Amino acid sequence: MVMHLLALHMKRVLVVGAGIHGLVTAAREHLAKNQVFIVEKRKRIGGRGTSQESLGHQLEHGPHLLLKGGELHSMVKKVSKIKPSLKPLRPNKVMIVGHGMLQPLDNPKAMLAYKLGQDPIREEAVKLISGWGQDIPARSKALMKGNLCVVGEGWAGLVGRLASTLEEVGVPIQTGMNIIEKTEKGVVTSKGLKIEADIVRMCDGAPVGNPVKVSTLDVVLDNRPLKGLHGLIKNDVAILDLAAIHPRKAPGMSHFSCISLSNGVQAIEELLDERVSGWRSHIITKRENNSITLTDSRGHLSDGVI
C-alpha cells in the first residue's frame, strides 16, 4: 500500500543540461522522491563548471571559489562520504597593486576607512574577488571571513561527486542528446525523438537578459614568483595563485587562474608582464578564453545554486 502511494506521488522529471545547475537540480528531485533522468547535449558533463586536463594539471574556465556553507557545498557534502578538501583564499594575502592588501590587517587606519565605506578602491577589489565584479554581499562577507575557498580536486571533482552519486542511486545521464523543443508532454531531441516527462527542468545555462562576459587565463608555471601571495589585483583584473592557496594544486609551482572583466586576456598578460617578469619562459601549460559567460542579467553565481 505504501509503495502504491509512493508511486502515485512519484513524478517523472527530465532535467535538460548536466552542468552544476542540472546536477544539483537532479539531486534535489531525487531527494524529493521523483524519478529523474538527465540529458546533456555535449559528450562531457559539467558545463562551465568543469576543467580540462593538460599535462597533468586541471585547468578550469577561470577562477572558481566555492562558498563554504553555500548550497552547492552543502549538496556535495550531503552526497559524499569524504568531504571535499577546501582551503580559504586569504584576503590579507591578496595585493591591490599600488594600494596595499585586500584586507590590510597590519594597517588599522586603512581597515577602518574600508569599514566606514571610505575606500572605494578596496570596495571594488572586494567585489572583484568575491563575485568577479558582481555585487553579492553574502560572498563579500564570506571572502573577508575566509569562507571563499579553492577546492583541492577542482570543480570537476565536485561535478564528478554529484554525477557518481546520481549514478549510484539510479539517475541516468544521457550525453550527446540535444533538446530542441519543450512540449506539454516532455521534450523533443534534435533527432526527432520524443521523451515524455511530467516535469521538465531546463538547466541548459541559457542566459536570462544580457549576459555578463569576461575573459580568463589559466596558466601553470614551473616556479613560484609570487612567493606565497594568494593574488594580485589591478583595476578589473585579478590573478589568483591556486597553488599558493591549496597545496594540492601544482605543488612547488604556480597555478595562476586569472580573470579580466573588460579588457580581454591582453589586460591579464599586461599585469603578469608588469608584476611577474619572465613568466612566459616558465609556462608549463595554459588555457585562455576571450569571452565566457560569467552570469546572466540576474548576476547569480552557481554555488547558491543559481
Ligand X SMILES: Cc1cc2nc3c(=O)[nH]c(=O)nc-3n(C[C@H](O)[C@H](O)[C@H](O)COP(=O)(O)OP(=O)(O)OC[C@H]3O[C@@H](n4cnc5c(N)ncnc54)[C@H](O)[C@@H]3O)c2cc1C
Would you call 37 helix, strand, or coil by DSSP?
Answer: strand
Binding mask 90-119 for ligand X (x = CB under 6 A): ------------------------------
Does 154 interact with ligand X (rule: CB under 6 A)? no
Footprint of ligand X on 117-136 (CB under 6 A): 132
268 binds ligand X (CB under 6 A): no
**Interface pick for ligand X out of 29, 119, 153, 204 (rule CB under 6 A):** 204
Nearest approach, Cβ of residue 223 and ligand X (Å): 25
Helix, strand, coil % in the chain, rounded to nearest 5: 35, 30, 40
| 187-214: burial string, b at 16+ Cβ within 10 Å, e else | bebeeeeebebeebbbbbbeeeeebbeb
- From the list 202, 196, 214, the residue with the least C-alpha distance to 41 is 202
CB of 8 to ligand X, least distance (A): 30
d(CA 21, CA 27): 10
User: Can you say whether residue 226 is alpha, beta or left, with left for phi > 0 and alpha for psi between -120 and 50 degrees?
Assistant: alpha
In sequence order, what are the beta bridge partners of 199?
Answer: 13
Residue 106 Cβ, how far from ligand X at the closest point, in Å? Answer: 27
* Cα 86 from Cα 106, distance rounded (Å): 26
Q: How near is the Cβ of 136 to ligand X at its closest, in Å? A: 9
**Using CB under 6 A, which residues numbered 278 to 297 contact ligand X?**
292, 294
267 binds ligand X (CB under 6 A): no
**Position 19 contacts ligand X (CB under 6 A):** yes
**Does residue number 178 form part of the binding site for ligand X (CB under 6 A)?**
yes
Of the candidate spans 3-11, 40-48, 74-82, 219-227, the one that interacts with ligand X by CB under 6 A turns out to be 40-48
**Position of cell 582551503?**
87
Binds ligand X (CB under 6 A): choice among 26, 59, 126, 306 = 306
**CA–CA gap between residue 76 and residue 72 (Å, rounded):** 6
Query: Which residues bind to ligand X, rule: CB under 6 A?
Result: 16-22, 39-42, 47-49, 61-65, 132, 178-179, 203-205, 214, 216, 259, 292, 294, 301-303, 306
